[in-house]
Structure 1
Amino acid sequence: MMMLRSLTWKLTLAFLGVGLIGAVVVALLARQSARSEFDRFLSERDQTELINAVTTFYMSYSTWDGLESALNQEADLAFYRRSATLFDRDGNVILANGPYVPGMIADQATLNATQPLTVANQTIGYIAFGMIQTAQPPAPSADQMIKDGPRPQDSFDQRITWAIGVSAIFATSVALLVGTFLARRLTRSLRELTVATQAMAAGQLEQQVAVRSNDEIGDLARSFNHMSADLSKATHLRKQMTADLAHDLRTPLSILRGYAEGLRDGVLQPSETIYTVIFDEVTHLQRLVDDLRVLSLADAGELSLNRRLVDPAALIERTILSAFVQAERQNIELKLETEAGLPSVSVDTDRMAQVLNNLVNNALRHTKQGSISLIAKRQAQQVQLIIRDTGSGIDPADVPYIFARFYRGDSSRQREDQASTGLGLAIVKAIVEAHQGQIEVESSLGEGTSFIISLPIA
């Protein structure tokens, strides 16, 4: 029963069914067509034989007397003679058929619808084959069939039926073989996908299947491979995030535990320095918890936004004011570039300030000299906010993962500020997307980086 439920067997039976139906239809049509053509051939042959027999009789005896008796002596001619009507040259009925009886005289219109019989260019009579009859000739009786013997059609029907039957069996066998082959070929990729899916369900996520065609099954295989690769990558990042989170928690907790034990055991004496260290580590833990909460709310679609209409230029001007002191300290030039008449955007100003401040602080951290540009411009139905620096840039291999949580790329981009939670860019992306916006990054290693925020026009 399980075998009959498989797609391979269903397809095989479908091909077999189509083959059987096709074979039966073709057999019936072929038999009907062959029989019709054979009947036409026999009809033309019998007409010719009857005309030759009638003409020969008249040439031999120069009269029509005794013709019917002579024809009845030959079974084939006697059988077909019943569908013929013969007239002499004057229109007198010699052989009767349908409404005609011997002795009747046909008019000229009737004779014009018949076939003339000529000998030495002289018309000796007229003959018609079913052209002027009012009804079909009666079917021969059983006695007549025995007397006349089997018709050629009967033997032909038997032979053609046997040949068509053999052909139908052969065609069905071929359909079964071809159907089985095609069914196995079509379901091969599906079987491989089933095995790979079961392996993934068992926890073996790095599964890839061969793409064997360019049809829908091939598209399914490609989609599965992409899904498997993405799922494997996501699982790897999740494990990495868990490890990084544990690391970020372990460090401040270890520091706090060490100071607590030292104070408890009297190894350390309370001092302002110790209190400052403890306060900083607790602050770091609090910031980490707050960042994780923001991300969890964003993931659940529950991040609250107090939106209001605001001028995009005002957003980046506020950011420049916040970063001005640090930029002056590092001798970094802050540039402001805004287009005139920019349309307003609907944003939570505090959340968006958090985004811009985070990006500018990152730029300051990775720009040793040069400048940082804050740009506001219109792009189609969006407003773009761009933070562009001339810093160290990002390795191209790290760019696709720059917004991943706790992602640690090239050493040049690792956190230099120990107070950082490693979730800044992930939070930036979550807040921007909560505003129905997008954020992209463009970077050239050693030349600088640009973060491009696109927000819909209000």
Structure 2
Amino acid sequence: MIRSLSFKLVAAFLLVSLVGTAVAAGYVAYITTERFSRYVTEQLRLRAAERWADYYRITGSWEGVREAMPMEEPSPPGAMPMGSVALADSQGRVIVAGAGFLVNQRVPMHLLRSATPITVNGQVVGYMLQMGVRMRPEAPRLAFLREFYRVLMVGSLVATVVALALGALLARSLTHPLRELTAATQAVAQGELAQQIPVRSNDELGQLAMSFNRMSAELVRAQEARRQMTADIAHELRTPLSLILGHAEALSDGVLPPTAQTFEVIYDEAQRLARLVDDLRTLSLSEAGELALQIGPLRPEEIIERAAVAHQPQAAARRVEIVTTVPPDLPDVEGDFDRVAQVLDNLLTNALRFSPEGSKIELGAQALGRTVRFTVRDEGPGLAPEDQERVFDRFYRTDRSRSRDLGGSGLGLAIARQLILLQGGEIGVESTLGKGATFWFTLPVQKGDV
């Protein structure tokens, strides 16, 4: 049979309370009985000594004490049994036999030190010797102990019931967040990803609830990103496929003449499809860590110069100036030349796409600790803060309608991020809306070249 956590907690609390109450009750009962018996014995001992002192005070000596207080005389209730004690005078000579001592026997000094002195008018006139006296179970003492044990048992039962009730409340309080978490996880398993449970504490259960909420939010975001990516891929594929199919059908029906211009449109759209597929493959391999890299020493000025020259015709066509700023003493960095060049190509292409005519794009690099920071700064419209957080996501567009017209698959920045991360660097963007944007990435300096 499956037992709930609440049942197990209540059972554990009950077991602990029962064991604790039993141990406490047993200890209290033992100590109380022992101390009470010792107290009663001491009181009876003092009473017996007082009887001897009264005899001496009346007669002025111990003469005739054996006849006046014989050992076989029954002791009154609550008194010390006479046969269990002996009486010695002030010199230590036994006057009344008992407790293992004989009349006229000399009591050793060390036993006199532990005996009960009998004083009259401030002077010691004798000693009462007691050897291992064991009290008789008188009725008043037994009645007191019985009442005490009864009260102790009732108190223990009440304490157990209270502990059980508190344990049940505590178990319910502790397991309530777990029940909420269980219901939420079952809902997630059924496809309802948007589940949030209340965080009621800062302990381990509260941390578990916060972790679940973060996981649920990430699942929702991932699901939305997957849906958006699927829609974006479908849209990216639909446009070139529609053009290719439309021109092919028009050629087949004789609507369009088989001219070079018609075939050029078909070829360009096919090339666009091929680039999209290559970008998706590169991004998938890099995210899976399976993209092969040829890591080696690279000269930052060579990489930047190559990127500037490669994009000069495109920049000239858009009337945009590309300038480079590279210090001559930069250390070499470690990376894959082709992949770093691909990152710069993607960043430059993105900058050219949004740069207005007559503006300027600056390519630069500078040493930053044990890294070199590469920058691509444009004078375009810039990015809003919310766009800066997602600009490196796949298929993310700040202005979807404008971006479609300007071309691009929406994967360039996502690929750039993954390539830089694979080479041990970092990538980011700094921008003020309306004042351009600066995309940057870092690469580690070659070992031994600081």
TM-score by length of 1: 0.89
Runs of 4+ off more than 6 Å: none
Match of 1:43 among 41, 44, 61: 41
1:286 and 2:278 matched: no
Q: 2:79 matched to which residue of 1?
A: 77
Change (3 A) 1:109 1:351: closer
Match of 2:55 among 54, 57, 63: 57
Kindly indicate whether the alpha-carbon contact (under 8 Å) linking 1:392 and 1:412 is maintained by their aligned counterparts in 2. Answer: no
Change (3 A) 1:346 1:31: same
- C-alpha separation in 1, matches of 2:108 and 2:274: 123
| TM-aligned CA deviation for residue 457 of structure 1 | 2.8
**Secondary structure, aligned partner of 1:452:** strand
| TM-aligned CA deviation for residue 61 of structure 1 | 4.2
Kindly indicate whether the alpha-carbon contact (under 8 Å) linking 2:78 and 2:138 is maintained by their aligned counterparts in 1. Answer: no
Kindly indicate whether the alpha-carbon contact (under 8 Å) linking 1:93 and 1:104 is maintained by their aligned counterparts in 2. Answer: yes
Matched to 1:403, the amino acid is F
Kindly indicate whether the alpha-carbon contact (under 8 Å) linking 1:72 and 1:78 is maintained by their aligned counterparts in 2. Answer: no
- C-alpha separation in 1, matches of 2:388 and 2:84: 95
1:181 and 2:164 matched: no
Match of 1:388 among 373, 377, 382: 377
Matched to 2:295, the amino acid is R
Q: 1:12 matched to which residue of 2?
A: 10
Change (3 A) 1:287 1:12: same
Deviating more after overlay: 448-457 vs 195-204:
448-457
Kindly indicate whether the alpha-carbon contact (under 8 Å) linking 1:71 and 1:78 is maintained by their aligned counterparts in 2. Answer: no
Change (3 A) 1:35 1:280: same
Kindly indicate whether the alpha-carbon contact (under 8 Å) linking 1:54 and 1:67 is maintained by their aligned counterparts in 2. Answer: no
Counterparts in 2 of 1:295-310, with a 5 A limit? 295-310=283-298
Structure 2: runs of 5 or more not aligned: none
| TM-aligned CA deviation for residue 358 of structure 1 | 0.7
Q: 2:152 matched to which residue of 1?
A: 164
Matched to 1:320, the amino acid is A
Q: 1:90 matched to which residue of 2?
A: 91
Deviating more after overlay: 234-243 vs 95-104:
95-104
Aligned residues: 441
Matched to 1:261, the amino acid is E
Change (3 A) 1:454 1:40: farther
- C-alpha separation in 1, matches of 2:114 and 2:186: 82
Deviating more after overlay: 37-46 vs 301-310:
37-46
Counterparts in 2 of 1:172-251, with a 5 A limit? 172-251=160-239
Kindly indicate whether the alpha-carbon contact (under 8 Å) linking 1:395 and 1:410 is maintained by their aligned counterparts in 2. Answer: no
Kindly indicate whether the alpha-carbon contact (under 8 Å) linking 2:49 and 2:116 is maintained by their aligned counterparts in 1. Answer: no
- C-alpha separation in 1, matches of 2:223 and 2:51: 98
Change (3 A) 1:199 1:49: same
Match of 1:150 among 138, 155, 176: 138
Change (3 A) 1:345 1:82: farther
**Secondary structure, aligned partner of 1:387:** strand
1:401 and 2:402 matched: no
| TM-aligned CA deviation for residue 112 of structure 1 | 4.4
- C-alpha separation in 1, matches of 2:414 and 2:344: 13
Change (3 A) 1:153 1:318: farther
| TM-aligned CA deviation for residue 113 of structure 1 | 4.4
- C-alpha separation in 2, matches of 1:176 and 1:205: 39
Task: Spell out, residue by residue over 1:321-375, the C-alpha distance to the aligned partner (whole angstroms, 9 max, x if none).
Answer: 2223333444434333334543322211111101111101111211215432222
| TM-aligned CA deviation for residue 67 of structure 1 | 2.2
Structure 1: runs of 5 or more not aligned: none
Q: Percent identity?
A: 41
**Secondary structure, aligned partner of 1:72:** coil
Deviating more after overlay: 420-429 vs 208-217:
420-429
TM-score by length of 2: 0.91
Kindly indicate whether the alpha-carbon contact (under 8 Å) linking 1:392 and 1:447 is maintained by their aligned counterparts in 2. Answer: yes
**Secondary structure, aligned partner of 1:454:** strand
- C-alpha separation in 2, matches of 1:404 and 1:171: 62
Q: What is the CA RMSD across the aligned residues, in angstroms?
A: 2.3
- C-alpha separation in 2, matches of 1:309 and 1:412: 41
| TM-aligned CA deviation for residue 268 of structure 1 | 1.2
Q: 1:428 matched to which residue of 2?
A: 416
| TM-aligned CA deviation for residue 269 of structure 1 | 0.9
